[in-house]
Amino acid sequence: MLHTAEQGLTYKLLTVAEIGDRQSWHDLLRELPGAHVLQTWDWGAFKQATGGWQPTRLAFHRGEQVVALASLATRRIGPLTVMMVSKGPALDYRDLALAEAVLAELERRARRLGNVWLKIDPDVIAATGLPGSEDDRCDALGGQVEEMLSARGWRFSASQVQFRNTLIIDLQRPLDDILMSFSGNTRRKVRAAAKKGVTIRDATLDDLPLLYQLYRLTGARDRFLIRPFDYYQLAWRDFIRAGLAHALIAEYAGTAIAHVILFRFGQTCWYFYGASANEERARMPNYALQWAAMQWAKAQGCATYDMWGAPDVFDESDPLWGVYQFKRGFRGILVRHSGAWDFAPQPWLYRAYETLMPRLLDRMRKQENHDEPS
């Protein structure tokens, strides 16, 4: 049931209400374009528990119909306040008037609190294909949304919390067609894993310490920082229990040698976490896991498999280049999003924050694994 938060608030017949229960929120979110797992009730609760972000779940009505949702997270940093809508707001961005009305309400809330910044990160496609290649295609709608944001005083954020670019696998094709679309080298490695004795099984909650152990080994080998076990236990356990996550483990001779942790909502499955042992990597367990993950996602009714993360700069200077080389063999569509944008109610405070706190922000970013959501 919807619970009205502010009576009488309208923008061109648009009213705003606050959602008070998880099931209503998820039922509405599934019906909207671009519904993302980072806009779920559970993600808001997780960020509240681990980072002190207070969620406010807003539904935008046009008459009786809910036409947009925004899980708005607010956090205090000393005397300052910041806001974020991770991978949202969720709405049909072809309706630019609706997008402007939603932005107007979010801006109003940011002004009321005197925010340093309000960050949004809608899943709006700016372009597809490798920049400069024959497949490079700009998206007209993405350009229109960016122009609208700029005209309203939003600025492209210097702090991109989530990945702007990713690789998307279309799962609506037959499995044989998906497999045959892989590069020849990737397809051979998928098949080689089975020949070399790699087996895949579903993980259980009892496997959480094992998942973390492999993740910790991967972080040490690839030189990225990870958080304590309690953080991942909360994320993985609660999302698995809620049916929003699933883990697969690759084994050889009864020993776990790699894993993936998948998140899903609506018709999309995201590859958020991956790890492998230092031993038996020549058995290609990561290739077998990706293929098993796609099969699992398709069986769950997902239409899209999002490989979560591609470089900003498409050459060896980008830290994601090695990961990208692995992912691109699965021949997904390279999607480049418009990214995160900031609204600053008090530009002078925003400039001071961005100038005086870069070291703190850099330290915070380093705590975020380069291959996981934040």
pLDDT at residue 264 in the model: 98
> What's the pLDDT band for 81 if we cut at 50, 70, 90?
very high
The more confident residue out of 351 and 216 is 216
∠ at Cα 167 (166, 169), nearest 5°?
A: 145
pLDDT single digits (tens) 266-277:
999 999 999 999
Dump pLDDT digits (tens) for 217-238.
999 998 888 999 999 999 999 9
- Distance CA(314)–CA(328), nearest Å, equals 12
Predicted confidence (pLDDT) at residue 34 exceeds the cutoff of 50? yes
**Rounded-to-10 torsion of CA 236, 241, 246, 251:** 80
What local confidence, expressed as pLDDT, does residue 357 receive?
A: 65
Residue 142: what pLDDT? 97
Of the CA atoms within 13 Å of residue 288, those in its CB half-sphere come to: 25
Chain segment 306-338, per-residue pLDDT in tens: 999 999 999 999 999 999 999 999 999 999 999
CA distance readout (Å), 31 to 34, 55, 122, 172 = 9, 21, 16, 19
Nearest C-alpha neighbor of 95 from the set 37, 153, 34: 34
- pLDDT of the residue at 114: 87
- Compute the distance between CA of residue 331 and CA of residue 185 in angstroms, rounded to an integer: 11
pLDDT at 183 over 90: yes
Residue range(s) of every CATH 3.40.630.30 domain in the chain: 2-161+338-366, 168-333
Of the listed ranges 84-88, 101-105, 363-367, the one predicted with least confidence: 363-367
pTM of the model: 0.92
Cα 169 to the center of its chain, rounded Å: 15
Homologous superfamily (CATH) of 168-333 is: Gcn5-related N-acetyltransferase (GNAT) (3.40.630.30)
Query: Do β-strands 80-85 and 137-138 pair in parallel, antiparallel, or remain unpaired?
Result: unpaired
Token pair, residue 328, equals: 């691109």
At 112-169, the pLDDT tens digits run 988 899 999 999 999 999 999 999 999 999 999 999 999 999 999 988 999 999 999 9
**CATH of 2-161+338-366 given 3.40.1440.60, 3.90.1640.10, 3.20.20.70, 3.40.630.30:** 3.40.630.30
Residue 97 burial by CB count (10 A; 0-12/13-18/19+): exposed, middle or buried? exposed
- Asked whether residue 7 carries a pLDDT value surpassing 90, the answer given is no
Confidence of residue 352 (pLDDT cuts 50, 70, 90): confident
Q: What is the DSSP string of 176-214?
A: HHHHHHS-HHHHHHHHHHHHTTEEEEE--GGGHHHHHHH
